[in-house]
Amino acid sequence: MPSETPFQINIPDEKLGILRAKLELATFPDELQDIGWRHGAPLADMKRLVERWKNGYDWRKYEKELNQELPMFTRDIDVDGFGALNIHYVHKKSETVDAIPLLFCHGWPGSFIEIRGMLPLLTASSPKHPSFHVVALSLPGFGFSEGAHRPGFGLDQYAEVTHKLMIALGYNEYVTEGGDWGFLITRRMAAKYGGKHVKAWHTNFPMADPPTWKSPLSFLSYLLTPYSAEEKAGLERTAWYRDKSSGYFVEQSTFPQTLAYGFTDSPVALLGWFYEKLVIWTDDYKWTDDEALTWISIYWFSRAGPGAAHRIYSEVYGDFYNLGRTSYPTIPMGASYFPKELLLLPSAWLRRLNNVVIESHHKSGGHFAAYERPEELTEDVRKMFAKGGPAFAVVPGKSGYA
């Protein structure tokens, strides 16, 4: 396998200057009176953030913090039919020799930064809980990974490049955790590489189709069993997302190139598109301005450019709503439910066709659970693989304990 290269984020001064120059030329729209968040990011918030990005925000400070906290590397990974892609990833080993190899897979509008809070927790050694060797890649086209250069890079290819990265790192057997697109990708990995390589998978974005008449008993139970209060709230949240917050999905999955012109030329356009989702997709998470700007700056400075990452919606669209017509993984699965996730479906739907061995239901938390609630999600993962847990020692010779 090609060797890895240590990586440090080091954005050229020229790019920082271009960003500031573009922000200096920003022109803002008007806004209807008392509209709040009903039409998207409020004008006052946008003006404040642009001013901060332009005249107070210190990218070099946060660049240095990321470099110090996250051991990063790049490596070429060959993808069948697409050649070699240079992939950026975080890789931190636990001091516990028998730690469990774990792949963390992000989605959109996230990035490798989502592992930041969980990384020291997952790699920590203790006789009280399992420890993990953690790999968190930037998906192709995201962060500092090279993107695909021609169409057809679908879910199989995302699964392939991610699996091959783990093999290249010497992790022939491993487990996964993913949210958003990370759920779809690790699910495909569990189906394709499960048993031999992927030993178990965990998600904080549990999606499943409702029962149908093709499974008469499940369908009858579905019709006769009343929803719990939590399930009713989850379905209401799902309906809100479908009716009020999913317009981006239609545009990104149909004409991503059209959006790319705005995202690539205008940092204000990128900021508005992302900041809206950071706020309304979380559970009252208290974003600082610098925190949000760092998240969005990773996209602005990304290797493939700010107009590349959302192409995943167009390339993988058919797989997103095709859950019921693809093979289901049989390896152990864990699921975490957070009340402000975007799609919250009854957990019985997931258990119907997946080998769910553990599930956790939380009182708070939203779409970016790894970032919003790192302690809670880490604890869920630990419980799954702990001594006495349903997936203890699922990776041969890697119990997670000294």
Query: Quick check: is 367 catalytic?
Result: yes
Residues 200-239 have pLDDT tens digits of 999 999 998 887 777 777 777 777 788 899 999 999 999 9
Q: What is the mean pLDDT of residues 9-35?
A: 98
Radius of gyration of the chain (CA): 21
Distance CA 61, CA 377 (A): 28
Distance CA 182, CA 186 (A): 6
Question: Beta-strand (E) ranges in 132-267?
Answer: 132-137, 174-178, 198-203
Distance CA 362, CA 369 (A): 10
In sign, the C-alpha dihedral spanning 193, 194, 196, 202 is: positive
Distance CA 377, CA 370 (A): 6
Residue in 367, 371, 380, 401 annotated catalytic: 367
CA distances from 18 to 15, 301, 305, 373 (A): 5, 11, 14, 35
State the pLDDT at residue 221: 75
Cα–chain center distance at 175: 16
Pairing, β 132-137 against β 100-105: parallel
Query: Quick check: is 361 catalytic?
Result: no
State the pLDDT at residue 322: 62
- Average pLDDT, rounded, for the chain: 95
Residues 361-371 have pLDDT tens digits of 999 999 999 99
Residues 62-76 have pLDDT tens digits of 999 999 999 999 999
Q: In the sheet where 5-7 sits, what is the strand order?
A: 5-7, 72-79, 83-92, 132-137, 100-105, 174-178, 198-203, 333-337, 356-361
Cβ burial of 167 (10 Å; 0-12, 13-18, 19+) is middle
Contact 231, 133 (CB under 8 A): no
State the pLDDT at residue 214: 73
Pairing, β 356-361 against β 333-337: parallel
State the pLDDT at residue 124: 98
Q: What is the mean pLDDT of residues 160-178?
A: 98
Ranges 101-110, 111-120, 318-327: which has the least confidence:
318-327
Residue in 45, 62, 174, 180 annotated catalytic: 180
Residue in 57, 285, 299, 313 annotated catalytic: 313
- Could you tell me which of 267, 276, 283 has the C-alpha nearest to residue 246? 276
Query: Quick check: is 202 catalytic?
Result: no
**Residue 83: φ, ψ to 5°:** 75, -165
pLDDT at 324 over 60: no
Residues 180-205 have pLDDT tens digits of 999 999 999 999 999 999 999 999 99
Residues 118-154 have pLDDT tens digits of 999 999 999 999 999 999 999 999 999 999 999 999 9
Distance CA 165, CA 113 (A): 18
